[in-house]
Amino acid sequence: MSFKTIEWTDEGVRMIDQRKLPAVEEYPVFKNYEEVATAIRAMVIRGAPAIGVAAAMGIALGVRDSKAKNLAELQGDFKLITDTLASTRPTAVNLFWAIDRMKRLFREIATDGAEQRTIAERLIKEALAIQTEDIESNKRIGKFGQSLLPDSGTILTHCNAGALATAGYGTALGVIRAAVENGKRLRVLADETRPFLQGARLTAWELWKDSIDVRVISDNMAGSFMRQGLIDAVIVGADRIAANGDVANKIGTYPVAVLAKQHEIPFYVAAPFSTLDLKMPDGSHIPIEERDPAEVTHIGGVRIVPDGVSVFNPAFDVTPHQFITAIITDRGVAQPPYAQSLMTLRNEGI
Ligand code: MRU
């Protein structure tokens, strides 16, 4: 990739500031775990897998810089660090998956009586492993998913499930990248994705940088394009997938899925196994983040909703599994019924 979404440095965690793209390509460094938490909350970094990597690096940073004088104090600091990072965004399960992985390692080495410096080194290594594994898993998703896409045609995507939303390469956009690398002639339509405009700003930016044919449409155009036969498949990412295959993803995904079913267009979801929450029986239990009303009332700092009028701003919706043609994971492609196929992939997948 010609840019790095997130990077560990000795000074702190460097991230591309996704709030400023595409106008400015800036890479600020977040110097402590509180700053990393603020960056996740403010969506400097966003996208389920990328949030997980950022949280893991934030934990490593917090432990490395802790002023604890003994193990008991370090354990207290560790709880504060992990609680702070866990409180940033509630829907993307990769965040909690990454935090749990760091917690398990911390418990294991702290019980062995290791010193703070050794613990911190191991945690940094683990965070870097999470980052590397995410890119590898994206590539596997791409390999499994690309065969589902036509040799030529137009693919609609919603939000940004690309390199910017992961450690690199992407899930939904990873499938598109892999298909293009395989010689398929694809054009991408990117929903602009109100209100944060991940499609217009981020998907368009990273595909354009990669010379992949991309055009932006506003969210309300998808139905009309489908009706005219101008869309051959839809592919999106996910923030959390329940055991029955219901998928939480960026607000606006559900209406696209309904439209796709109506027009008999395949609707694919691409996500690593770290996005699966098999303890959750169905999507009705998935917590949906409600974000700052200013994201809806304002565009580019200018108020577009009359002062005094309030708005709703749920950041995600849930697409029931009946609308999903297949779920492309890093362990293989799950077909309906998902309650069985996801379990099979969990137990027998690569
Ligand atoms: O609010 P965001 O931008 O973090 O939402 C991101 C999405 O909904 C993505 O589709 C999802 O996290 C998958 S990213 C590979």
Together in a domain, 199 and 100: no
**Looking at residue 263, which CATH number applies to its domain?**
3.40.50.10470
Residue 1 lies in a domain: no
Together in a domain, 146 and 135: no
Number of structural domains (the chain) is 2
**Ligand 1 pocket check for 161: Cβ under 6 Å:** yes
Provide the pLDDT for residue 113.
Answer: 80
Q: What is the band of 112 on the pLDDT scale with cuts at 50, 70, 90?
A: confident
Residue-wise pLDDT for 184-229, tens only, equals 999 999 999 999 999 999 999 999 999 999 999 999 999 999 999 9
Provide the pLDDT for residue 16.
Answer: 98
SS3 323: helix
Residue-wise pLDDT for 249-291, tens only, equals 999 999 999 999 999 999 999 999 999 999 999 999 999 999 9
Mark which of 139, 158, 188 sits at the end of a domain.
139
- Neighbouring residues of 284: CB distance < 8 A, sequence distance ≥ 6: 246, 318
Q: How far apart are CA 162 and CA 283, in angstroms?
A: 23
pLDDT at 300 over 70: yes
Residue 286 lies in a domain: yes
Percent of the chain whose pLDDT exceeds 70: 99
Residue 160 lies in a domain: yes
Provide the pLDDT for residue 349.
Answer: 60
Percent of the chain whose pLDDT exceeds 90: 97
Higher pLDDT, 111 or 104: 104
pLDDT at 350 over 70: no
Residue 153 lies in a domain: yes
Q: What is the torsional sign of CA 279, 282, 285, 290?
A: positive
Q: Which of 141, 160, 219, 234 to mutate to test the pocket of ligand 1 (most atoms within 8 A of CB)?
A: 160
Together in a domain, 188 and 313: yes
Give the number of the atom of ligand 1 that is nearest the alpha carbon of residue 315: 1
Q: What is the pTM of this model?
A: 0.97
Name the residue range of residue 258's domain: 141-349
Burial 24-34 (b: 16+ CB within 10 A, else e): eeeeeebebbb
